[in-house]
Amino acid sequence: MVKKKLRVCTYGSFEVYVGDRPIIFRNRKAKELLAFCIDRRGKTLTSDDVSEYLWSNRPFGENIRQLYRRAARDLTKTLNQEGLEGVFIRTRGKCRVQMEEIDCDLIRYLDDHNAEPADFAEMYLYEYEWRTVLLSDMK
């Protein structure tokens, strides 16, 4: 049996695929959580870290914690339904992605061409306000 790999496009609009088939997310924050974790290149993140960026326009509190938990639960469910168990790892109050299980267009390009991330800053994950926060740390 061939193991499925998650394929993501970060250059331009953030899109997620299994093979050539797009994954449909019912919860847009679950998709954004995946993008955020990929942007952080697999680093373990706390729910507070994530919430600070994904819900930056709202005061932090129990309501935001619940929104984070829902997004993390929905992301796990969506990926598991696609046969991608283990791509998104979550434990109490923390999460990360297994970068080895992800084929990311921009990371692959940067690695293959020794390019500078700044060359892609304008189009990288352009729909997310937080997108440039760690772009300079990608290399």
Q: Pairing state of beta strands 94-97 and 88-91?
A: antiparallel
**Residue whose entry in the numeric block shows the structure tokens 């049996």:** 1
Residue 68 covered by a domain: yes
Residue 1 covered by a domain: no
Residue 89 covered by a domain: yes
pLDDT at position 2: 44
Residue at 89: amino acid letter: I
pLDDT at position 132: 58
Local structure of 16: helix, strand or coil: strand
Cα–Cα distance, 102 to 89 (Å, whole number): 13
Residue 16 covered by a domain: yes
Tokens of 17: 């695929």
Cα–Cα distance, 67 to 133 (Å, whole number): 22
List the CATH number of the domain containing 49: 1.10.10.10
**Dihedral of CA 123/126/46/48: which sign?**
positive
pLDDT at position 18: 94
pLDDT at position 130: 85
pLDDT at position 119: 67
Q: What total number of domains does the chain contain?
A: 1
Residue 133 covered by a domain: yes
For 63, the domain range is: 6-137
In tens digits, what is the pLDDT along the chain, a chain of 139 residues?
Answer: 446 689 999 988 899 999 889 999 999 999 999 999 998 989 999 999 999 999 988 877 789 999 999 999 999 999 999 999 999 999 988 999 999 999 998 777 777 666 666 667 777 888 888 875 545 554 4
Q: Global pTM?
A: 0.88
